[in-house]
Amino acid sequence: MGEKLLYDDDEYKKEESRISRVTVRTSTGPQTDRTSGSLDHCKRVDMRSLPYFCRGQVVRGFGRGSKDLGIPTANFPESVVDNLPADISTGIYYGWARVDNGDIHKMVMSIGWNPYYKNTKKSMETHVIHKFKEDFYGKILSVAMVGYIRPERGFKSLDELIAAIHSDIEEAKTKLDLPEHLKLKEHHFFKTSTANQILNGHRL
């Protein structure tokens, strides 16, 4: 566990100098357009580790995704969560996901403690935007986190939380159709075998 994913491709080496800058709202401040660049009641997050690639075995989580929300999620083990870079802040991300050696699908991921449920353990919960015939506990989940949607925040009701998640999913679908994100669907990472090793990745 914890091995670095290294590639020799010159195109992706150039990505090492790229910094994804995202302006996000603080939980107590007013809403601000993420693209406006306004720093009023906002903090600027430098996502130096995006895109971020990681892989791990799906473990049982809190059991709330399908039961409470109707939005199934897959949980990574603590070993993957604990290896996140320091600049990967809590919040909602979007990217690409693959179960074992199957097809690559769009995904959204929540990283953090889920304020609505007041979790005491940090988690990485991935919703793969695809209908699977059965659950995939014990399977190997490979993900590429390519962008940030919003910080995690508390909600007054379950319905409000569900509405926010559906909004996140729609935003992820749209953003992942951008050429700079579509190319990562074809990344070397997804062409490597999942059979022999479980890896934690890093930005390229």
Say whether the peptide bond before residue 85 is cis (omega within 30 degrees of 0): no
Cα separation, 20 vs 2, in Å, equals 23
pLDDT-based confidence at residue 199 (cuts at 50, 70, 90): low
**Annotated catalytic residue within 3, 11, 125, 171:** 125
Mean pLDDT of 68-80: 88
Structure tokens that stand for 39 in this block: 């720093």
In this model, does residue 156 exceed pLDDT 90? no
Q: Which CATH class is domain 10-17+52-191?
A: mainly beta
In this model, does residue 42 exceed pLDDT 70? no
Specify the pLDDT at position 100: 94
In this model, does residue 173 exceed pLDDT 90? yes
Q: Say whether 125 is catalytic.
A: yes
Q: What are the residue boundaries of the structural domains of the chain, listed by start? A: 10-17+52-191
In this model, does residue 24 exceed pLDDT 60? no
pLDDT-based confidence at residue 202 (cuts at 50, 70, 90): low
In tens, the pLDDT along 77-113 reads 999 999 999 889 999 999 999 999 999 999 999 999 8
